Structure 1
Amino acid sequence: MKKSYYLSFLIGLSSWVQADTLVEVIRHTLETNPDILVTTHQRLAVDQEHRQAVAGYLPSVELNGGYGRETSDNVTTRSRYSDSEVSLNREELGLTLSQMLFDGFYVKREVEYQNRRIESAAHQVKNTSEQIGLLTVSAYLRLFQYHELLELAKDNLVIHQKRLAQIREIVEKGAGRKADVQQSQSRLALASSNLVRAQGELREAEYRYQRITGQLPEFANLVKPERPLVETHLPESAEIALNLALKTHPSMKIAQAELEAAEALYQQAAASFIPHFQLELGATDNKNLDGIEGTNDDLSAMVKMRYNLYRGGADQARREEIAERVSAAKEVIRRTRRTLEEEVQLAWNDLMTIRERLTYLKNHVEATEQVVESYSEQFKLGQRSLLDVLDSENELFNARSTLISGQYTELLGMFRVISSMGLMLNKLGIKPPAEAQVEY
């Protein structure tokens, strides 16, 4: 007996350990979802572009060399040799170190530009994580919703099967009508159809869950989330939610970073109108140059200036192009703000609407349950037709289905409100991928 209890305990403990809570499923999804991994790789690519920009501050060292046959006919060969043409094996070896001294702040602006791009890419990782997180919540909750609807459809089918058996028994005793059997069979067929539909909807929910999370659900291991998990984090009003969204939502931060990136490029474009200075240190070890046999070595240290005077107006056109991109980035911020306003207000309105509806849906279910009970008793007394009873039972099934869907719509609606502020992962205690952090 003790062994049996111990085995039962281990089985129960195993089930508890393997349980997949909503938070755990979201964490797994953030690690494996391709949409998120795309943004993380893009962020890492921008990091490397930032390294390229910083390299502009550092010196560059170049080694060059060459070997070949050279035939020369010049003033020197004609004065030195009877034959004006001289062929020698030419050898070249050179080392050059270049250091930017002043480039009109081109590199500085490039680094600033890449800094802003890192910010944008990091916020994009966060934004995509929030979106995939909400999709995961939706897929997770839909599994529970359609499982409940499936159980309801099964119960409804059993009720109609019992009703048909009851009517057949009455008819066989000569107290009923054949039409009652036909009506009951008709409603049984409808109940069977509802069951098939519920099974199909559940399969669709499972496929959707698999697409988002990367794995088929094991429903027995899933844990239904409790309302306090999200309800305690709801703002008091839509206005508060909107103010938070404008401050914290990653899409706003993306738009702001893109504007600052465009402004950095605009400032960088001014470098084309300013002289550039560069220090060059060089050393060569050459042999047999230009028909002169022997070594020809050089050491040099020079400050070189490059000043673009005219390029056909390309530099001015580039500056004006970027000015337009700055203006476009400002409009993106305005558009993002409007989009957030709409998303927050819609999410809040949907939540308030379904909450108000739920009161009536619950009342509808309770009232319909009483009607079914009353009609069943009256049918036994011959005061109600079978059609009345079947209609009331069908109405009860629909009422319960609508209530179940409404309850999950409300629960998902609370997550939507939090997500519309860009705070869902934070409130659930879930860290987005490391690439969502801004580090230069």
Structure 2
Amino acid sequence: MTTDRCGLRRRRSTRFLSFGSASAALALVAVAPAPASAESLLSALARAYYGNPDLNQSRANVRVRDEDAPKAKAGLRPKASIAAQAGSQYAAIKIPFGGSASQQAGAASGSSGDFQDTYVGYPRGTTLNLSQTLFDGFRTENSVRQAESGVFAARSTMRLTEQAILQNGATAYMNVLRDTAVVSLRKNNISVLDEQLKQTRDRFQVGEVTRTDVSQAEASVALARSEYYAAQAQLKTSMANYRQIIGAEPKHLQPGRSLEPLLPKSMEKAIAIALVEHPGVTAAFHQVDAAALAVKVAEGALLPSLSVTGEVSNQYDSFLGLPGSRQFTAAAMGRLNVPLYQGGAEYASIRQAKEQLGQARLNADLQRDSVRASVVSSYGLLETARASIVSGQAAVKAAETALAGVREEAKVGQRTTLDVLNAQQALLNARVNLVTSQRDRVVASYAALGSIGRLSAHELNLNVAIYDPSLHLYQVHDQWFGLDTPDGR
């Protein structure tokens, strides 16, 4: 009877052990075809590419910067205006006539001899003014080029945001997978420890173990439950982060895959690519171009400017308020302005622009150094994750063998209950570490691809329509008028 019951216990223990091993493999290895409604890592990233608010906000910022180009072009475009005015005017007019003789005659006749009259008029009129700047010291030309450099810098910043969203999305996806597997492992661990506690209590009844062994088994179960609840809380946090980045609740997530096939084979080649292609570097160099052009715009204030102006005016009742009077004028004038000295503000602006150019160049150097460090760090983390998986697999296999041996030895009294519990905990820790290493490898591969500037929807071949920022600039670059945006707002 005792032998049969012990045999049943052994079968139960083996069953729980096998289930725990399968749970660890669920993290990254697909063992069966995924259901039709399953979410893959790439489909989740495609969802984030479409709907993430941070990325859409960055795209909107690029469209805002696009409008700087037509604003700068307005400097050499013609300007026209119409002015109209109307009102009422009271005028009193006195015109003296003759010398002293006429004054005396006027006095004798009771008249002053002067012409006096009052008028109430309603002056009104319109004026059409046309002006065209012919030369402004190259300020408009350089302002347009400066605006275009700002647009290119904004596009690079948008690419940085895209990389961050894709990398954060991959991290959130793998965190949910990892925490789901950890919850499963810890739940299975509770079942195994519950079975161990039952066996210990049975052995205590027959006098094979002491009350201390039972208490140790009970403490292990209580600790396992506490760790299970903590794992559940961590999973909920990861699911909330997933919802924030991806825009949907995580359901039926498929195993993730590493991007190592897309990475350069050597770190040196990765660094060379990153120093040229990384959006942070390209944004910094576009900002240098914009700062250099800002210096030229400021220097244009010292150059002469040339413009022509035409004006047509038609006025009524405007001559001394006389009713019925009419005045028509038409004029065309050229204006040449040669600045000599304007208080020194333009010189201060030039010096300031040059200092900002130096600052932009230093920022470019800083970005290159930062990108280089990021590549080295991400490649190091990827290497560490790969090595951790190899050692983790070996650790799981060794821990499984050790646990089986400790259990057999405990049956013949060579091991205590504490030894069995410690071996079970060691196996659990090894499985959790393996799941974590599998997650770290995928996340590190995304970080490495992002560190060289190639983490994009195009590079990942996401099933999305790639956003083209150049289309909006093309639509507004030469637009002279219009209130609606290209998308009809």
TM-score between both structures, scaled by the size of structure 1: 0.91
Q: Distance in 2 between matches of 1:213 and 1:141?
A: 12
Superposed CA RMSD:
2.2
Secondary structure, in 3 states, of the residue corresponding to 2:123?
Answer: strand
- Whether 1:239 aligns to 2:268 is yes
Aligned residue among 425, 429, 434 for 2:461: 429
Q: Distance in 1 between matches of 2:264 and 2:466?
A: 22
Aligned residue among 156, 180, 186 for 1:153: 186
Secondary structure, in 3 states, of the residue corresponding to 2:343?
Answer: coil
The residue type equivalent to 2:346 in the other structure is D
Aligned residue among 188, 199, 211 for 1:166: 199
- Whether 1:360 aligns to 2:379 is no
Pairing 1:192-207 to 2, within 5 Å after superposition: 192-207=225-240
- Could you tell me how far 1:411 is from its partner in structure 2? 1.5
- Could you tell me how far 1:337 is from its partner in structure 2? 0.5
Aligned residue among 25, 33, 49 for 1:30: 49
Secondary structure, in 3 states, of the residue corresponding to 1:216?
Answer: coil
- Contact 2:124 2:315 (8 Å CA) reproduced: yes
Aligned residue among 128, 131, 144 for 2:177: 144
Q: Distance in 2 between matches of 1:351 and 1:379?
A: 41
Q: Distance in 2 between matches of 1:71 and 1:420?
A: 79
- Contact 1:129 1:432 (8 Å CA) reproduced: no
- Contact 1:70 1:290 (8 Å CA) reproduced: no
Deviates more, 1:283-292 or 1:315-324: 283-292
Q: How many residues align?
A: 422
Deviates more, 1:81-90 or 1:195-204: 81-90
Q: Distance in 1 between matches of 2:115 and 2:408?
A: 134
> Relative to 1, partners in 2 of residues 1:13 and 1:78: Cα closer, same or farther, differing over 3 Å?
farther
Partner of 2:123: 90
Partner of 2:221: 188
- Whether 1:413 aligns to 2:444 is yes
Aligned residue among 144, 159, 172 for 1:126: 159
> Relative to 1, partners in 2 of residues 1:13 and 1:362: Cα closer, same or farther, differing over 3 Å?
closer
- Could you tell me how far 1:73 is from its partner in structure 2? 7.2
Seq. identity, %: 23
Q: Distance in 2 between matches of 1:14 and 1:104?
A: 67
Gaps of 5+ in 2: 1-31, 98-113, 478-489
Partner of 1:306: 337
Deviations along 1:43-101, one digit per CA (max 9) or x if unpaired, are: 11111222211222321110110001234579xx8589934765421112011111111
- Whether 1:338 aligns to 2:372 is no
- Contact 2:127 2:314 (8 Å CA) reproduced: yes
- Whether 1:285 aligns to 2:314 is yes
> Relative to 1, partners in 2 of residues 1:358 and 1:20: Cα closer, same or farther, differing over 3 Å?
closer
The residue type equivalent to 2:257 in the other structure is E
Deviates more, 1:426-435 or 1:18-27: 426-435
Q: Distance in 2 between matches of 1:72 and 1:276?
A: 43
Deviations along 1:344-380, one digit per CA (max 9) or x if unpaired, are: 1100111112222332222222111111010000001
Q: Which has the larger radius of gyration?
A: 2
- Contact 2:86 2:124 (8 Å CA) reproduced: yes
Deviations along 1:88-146, one digit per CA (max 9) or x if unpaired, are: 21112011111111111111111011110110111111110111110000001111111
Q: Distance in 1 between matches of 2:420 and 2:393?
A: 21
- Whether 1:66 aligns to 2:85 is yes
Partner of 1:372: 403
Partner of 1:268: 297
- Contact 1:72 1:290 (8 Å CA) reproduced: no
> Relative to 1, partners in 2 of residues 1:114 and 1:182: Cα closer, same or farther, differing over 3 Å?
same
Deviates more, 1:102-111 or 1:293-302: 293-302
Gaps of 5+ in 1: 1-11
